[in-house]
Amino acid sequence: MIEHAALLATVIPGIVGIVLYAFSRRIRRGVGWIATIAASSSVIMIISMGRDVMESCKVGQGPLTFSYAWIPSIDVDFGFLVDTVSFPIALIAAAVSTLCCFYSIKYMKKERDQPAYYANLLLFMTGMVGVILSSNLIQFYLFWELMLIPSYLLIANWGTSKNRLNIAFKYFIFTHIGALAMLLGILAIFSYTNTFDLLKLPLVADAIPPNMVGVIFVMLLIGFLVKMAAFPFHTWLPDAHSEAPTPISAMLSGVMIKCGAYGMARVLLTTFGQIVLQVSDYLAILGIITIAYGGLMALAQTDIKRLLAYSSISQMGYIVFGLGVASELGIMGSLLHIVNHAVCKSLLFMCVGIIIHQTGTRDIRKLGGLIGKMPTLGIACLIGVFSLVGTPPLNAFWSEWMIFGGGLAAGKGLITIFGLLSTVITAGYYLWFAWRVFFGSLPKRLNRVKEAPFSSRASVIILATISVLLGVLPGLVLEYITPAAEYISGLIGGG
């Protein structure tokens, strides 16, 4: 079973999604549970590979690879690459997707055409897991595009306003243009190296002519930055994330945009290490601009979901900064922040979804004092807030200090100081959000508000527990992240 675990983890949710589409008119009950079980199977398959990944790393055998014959004429297999880089990110992607399926059972109960909703959700999950576990660039791109189509349909069909079609179209155009730029880069790489294999690329990258290296690097970088919604490629994100149903917002912000970060780490840093070192200052500055811009825009929001959407832009700046400084500690912090932010931002979006459902409003100005009415939800939400602010011993504290420690390790003291100063904005908008929603006086119209049923809060409680657990025991993830950072840093020659 282990030799097929990566394949099963990727395709089972997609196959179940296709079945739900095919029999949507016959399946009336239990579709949410079917989707949750299918997604859970992916989590189990990925976990089953964890020990083998670590043992393979310790004995120096390299990553686990599983391949199936596909296009022999150009030496392309349908393959999966499971190592200390992909394993923790694939696991958190599958886990968050599973919790979003479970959360949807209650949250989307009254929505129309639920078999199609869950089918798209599972296909969306398949795309994300497939991207992270792909062993070659052509397969990477195909799963990258698979992410786009079901997520577009989820926004267009189950969006929260009358403008959902226009917003979904904007999202589709932006991310598809980014994907096309990335595809041009991938095809250019193949034309010079004659391989799509992610493990072979660092070994044959010298075959790319010097005058084309920069061009290919920029094309790939644009594709990854668009998906991450880093400044100035961010304008699609606030509309799309605030328009999508809350469980899908959690997947978009918690997992999907991290695929861009994974692409930067997996492709750019390993294959174009010298270019990364040459433009390191520019990438670090871009990260700081993204942190500050997203944070200032979040401070200006009164819509609770748009605030979280802009905060996602800001948080992607941290990851761009850590990868951009190209030091081992910075890379380690960014990879860890991919996991930590996925946990905390999914937690916050789910909390906000419950608040909107229970109070009937998204306007922060109409909220207040909810900690007394919704104590469990309030505590869980505050865990997510204080974690992303960088408060020990919560999980995001570790990744954030590593990111800026990586800036110092790379000898970028002045740039790092500006990065640290920009974190004040992060603290500002998150604490402002927490105070306005949970503390202060309770508006009279909210006197009858009560805690949501446990079934609605279960996913929130699980994510809050994970945030605390990974804060107290960061080694659970760092056990994998540390050798991953060493591997990438070794390839690029970073400090």
Over its length of 495 residues, how does the chain's per-residue pLDDT go in tens digits? 556 888 888 999 999 999 988 877 777 778 889 999 999 999 999 999 888 888 877 656 678 788 888 888 777 888 898 988 899 999 999 999 999 999 999 888 877 888 899 999 999 999 999 999 999 999 999 999 999 999 999 999 988 878 889 999 999 998 999 999 999 999 999 999 988 989 889 888 889 998 899 999 999 999 999 999 898 888 888 888 888 899 999 999 889 999 999 999 999 999 998 898 889 999 999 999 999 999 999 998 989 999 999 999 999 999 999 999 989 999 999 999 999 999 999 999 999 999 998 888 888 989 988 898 899 999 999 999 999 998 888 999 999 999 999 999 988 889 999 988 988 999 999 999 999 999 888 888 888 888 888 878 899 999 999 999 999 999 999 999 988 888 888 888 643
Element (H, E) at 49: none
488: Cβ contacts below 8 Å, ≥ 6 apart: 85, 265, 269, 270, 331, 494
- Nearest CA to 259 out of 392, 127, 82 is that of 127
Asked if 450 and 358 touch (Cβ cutoff 8 Å), the reply is yes
**Which of 236, 419, 382, 393 lies closest to 312 in space, CA to CA?**
236
**Whole-angstrom distance, CA of residue 148 vs CA of residue 173:** 10
Distances (CA, A) of 410 to 289, 319, 328, 389, 416: 19, 15, 9, 24, 10
- Taking Cα atoms as reference points, which of 96, 109, 123 lies closest to residue 22? 123
Contact status, residue 320 vs residue 287, Cβ threshold 8 Å? yes
What is the C-alpha to C-alpha distance for residues 227 and 261, in angstroms, rounded to an integer? 8
Q: Is 473 left (phi over 0), alpha (psi -120 to 50) or beta?
A: beta
Q: How far apart are CA 356 and CA 305, in angstroms?
A: 9
pLDDT for position 152: 93
CA-CA distance, 51 to 149, in Å (whole number)?
34
pLDDT score, position 471? 93
Q: Are 467 and 382 in contact (CB under 8 A)?
A: no
Query: In whole angstroms, what is the distance from residue 369 CA to residue 359 CA?
Result: 12
CB distance 69 to 122 below 8 Å? no
Q: Tell me which residue has tokens 């296909």.
A: 123
Across-strand partners of 65?
A: 81
Indicate the SS3 state at residue 122: helix
Write phi, then psi, for 214 (nearest 5 degrees): -65, -40
* Nearest alpha carbon to residue 311 among 179, 427, 392: 427
Instruction: Parse the chain into domains and list their residue ranges.
Output: 2-492
Nearest to 96 by CA among 104, 107, 106, 84: 104
Which tokens in the block code for residue 159? 């969006």
Rounded Cα–Cα distance for residues 261 and 337 (Å): 10
Q: What tokens does 59 get?
A: 């004995």
Question: Nearest-CA neighbor of 365 among 435, 274, 458?
Answer: 435
Closest among 356, 268, 264, 250 to 312, alpha carbons compared: 250
pLDDT of amino acid 1: 58
